[in-house]
Amino acid sequence: MPIEIRLPELSASINEATILAWRKRPGEAVKPGDVLVEIETDKSAAELEASDEGTLLEILVQEGAEGVPVGALLALLARPGEASATNGSPPARETRSARCPAQAASTDLSAAPAPERVADATPLARRMAEQDGIPLASIRGSGAGGRILKCDIEAARGMRPPGPLAPEARRAPPKTELPPVLSRFARVRGQDDSAAQHAQELPAEAPFHELRHATARRTQAARLAESKRSLPHFYLTADCELDGLLALREELNTRLREGEPRFSVNDFVIRAAALALRRVPDANVSFTEEALRFYDRVDVAVAVATDAGLVTPIVRDADRKRLVDLSRELRDLSERARARRLRPEEYQGGSLTVSNLGSYGIQSLLPIPNPPQSCILGVGAAEPRPVARDGAVAVRTMITCTLSADHRALDAATGAELLTALRCGLEDPLSLVL
């Protein structure tokens, strides 16, 4: 009886994945612990291991397949001694989930009945069909392998005709009335409306190239768009003096051994944010439909730019870690985030995210909170600015910190307390290392 290898549930927030590469081919022997396939989720890449011994019988989802839902049948594994040929009636199958090494202990590998086969469709197309009451079985998909796409659902409900537009339709310029201001401008220059109309038209075949969305970027775009639409957030801004912090950082770096990584300004910022959350526990909260959820630990996420989009690995218990330990952990998380090698538990949750664009010379930014987190801190570049000190103008090294917060979870006064605590920490850097 062949064993069905299915895509496991890596975490509660991951619903689909992309198949990157199969490490085993049909006919090859498989042992428990062997890596079967490499996948990519919206946050990281992962290797799925076999939990049974046998021979890989058939691969059902090919490399490059995107939007593969959790629970999808990936491959068939023949048990030792079973014939690999499938002559005669197809044998019964036993279900297994491939194991992700980071979650092998928590994955349920018990036998389960194979779910009824359904039409292959993207998650969005499936939701649209359910909302409109359109049976997927009645639709012929236009995607790879007959997969049902959003455009197929729209065509089925009469929103637009199926298939691509004809070249003539794509090239036909829209006939729009010339705005009055352009019409008047044309007359002043001695031109008629047709000349001005031609001037405002864009070339029909403007040169461009497209890069298909990676799973991470597509998911990130959907989440941020939803956050911007539905999450009522406010902004608070504070300028922080960094001269004392920079002097302490330079002194600490001179004490490090040759070849040891140096402390960065961001290390101090994350440490200050963690201690600020400890001092203002009412800000260590997230909003749910049933209640406010207050967290008993301080976990700070850090925005890391990768080729596939933004990833936010989390420093757990950041308020309890020494600056040197926090710095090493942050460097390790950032490197593995860029290599797409984070485990799910290393980027899920978090109390607050720090997004630091200081290295790009950006003075300030207004970031969008990432639910379920209620706060995100935007940090700009450290730069010399004139400030008033004791009735005189002095030049100090300053940074601008902007807190963006979910107004459902905390009010502006609580946000101001948090930002003030952050500023006090940055301007008293010894408190961050003691």
Q: Which tokens sit at 423?
A: 């500023």
pLDDT of residue 380: 97
Residues marked active site are found at 407
Instruction: Give which of 246, 263, 247, 5 is closest to 111, Cα–Cα.
Output: 5
CB 294 within 8 A of CB 426: no
What does CATH list as the number for 232-433?
3.30.559.10
- pTM of the predicted model as reported, rounded to 2 decimal places: 0.63
Q: Measured between alpha carbons, how far is 152 from 160 in angstroms, rounded to an integer?
A: 9
Q: Measured between alpha carbons, how far is 356 from 377 in angstroms, rounded to an integer?
A: 8
Task: Determine the 3-state secondary structure of 19 from DSSP.
Answer: strand
Instruction: Give which of 54, 55, 46 is closest to 27, Cα–Cα.
Output: 55
- Tens-binned pLDDT, residue by residue, of the chain (434 aa): 788 899 888 776 678 888 988 999 999 999 888 889 988 887 677 888 888 889 999 999 998 888 888 889 999 999 887 755 444 444 555 555 565 554 433 333 333 343 444 467 776 677 777 777 788 877 877 765 676 777 778 778 764 444 444 444 344 445 555 566 556 555 555 555 555 555 555 455 668 877 777 777 777 788 888 888 888 999 999 999 999 999 999 999 999 888 888 999 999 999 999 999 999 999 999 999 999 999 999 999 999 998 777 899 999 999 999 999 999 999 999 999 998 888 888 988 898 999 999 999 999 999 999 888 999 999 999 999 999 999 999 999 999 999 999 999 999 999 999 999 999 999 999 999 98
295-318 in b/e form (b: 16+ CB < 10 A) is eeebbbbbbbebebbbbbbbbeeb
Please identify which residue in the block is written with the tokens 């290295």.
359
pLDDT of residue 164: 46
Q: Measured between alpha carbons, how far is 261 from 91 in angstroms, rounded to an integer?
A: 58
CATH fold of 123-156 = Dihydrolipoamide Transferase (4.10.320)
pLDDT of residue 113: 40
Q: Domains of the chain: which residue ranges?
A: 3-103, 123-156, 232-433
Using CA atoms, how far residue 206 sits from 178, 201, 304, in Å, is 22, 11, 34
26-47 in b/e form (b: 16+ CB < 10 A) is eeeebeeebbbbbbbbbbbbbb
Query: What's the maximum distance between 2 C-alpha atoms anywhere in the chain?
Result: 94
Please identify which residue in the block is written with the tokens 């979650």.
103
Using CA atoms, how far residue 211 sits from 62, 89, 169, 215, 406, in Å, is 21, 44, 24, 12, 33
Instruction: Give which of 40, 36, 44 is closest to 98, Cα–Cα.
Output: 36
Amino acid making up residue 48: L
CATH fold of 3-103 = OB fold (Dihydrolipoamide Acetyltransferase, E2P) (2.40.50)
Q: Measured between alpha carbons, how far is 51 from 359 in angstroms, rounded to an integer?
A: 45
Helix 265-279 to helix 412-427 angle (10° resolution) is 130
Q: Measured between alpha carbons, how far is 160 from 78 in angstroms, rounded to an integer?
A: 46
In sequence order, the β-bridge partners of residue 134 are none
Please identify which residue in the block is written with the tokens 């941020």.
224
Instruction: Give which of 266, 294, 315 is closest to 432, Cα–Cα.
Output: 266
pLDDT of residue 33: 86
The dihedral through the CA atoms of 70, 74, 76, 79 has a sign that is negative
In sequence order, the β-bridge partners of residue 98 are none
Q: Measured between alpha carbons, how far is 351 from 356 in angstroms, rounded to an integer?
A: 16
State CA 212 to chain mean position distance. 16
The dihedral through the CA atoms of 424, 427, 433, 434 has a sign that is negative
Q: Residue 145 CB: number of other CB atoms within 10 A?
A: 9
Instruction: Give which of 431, 379, 366 is closest to 266, Cα–Cα.
Output: 379
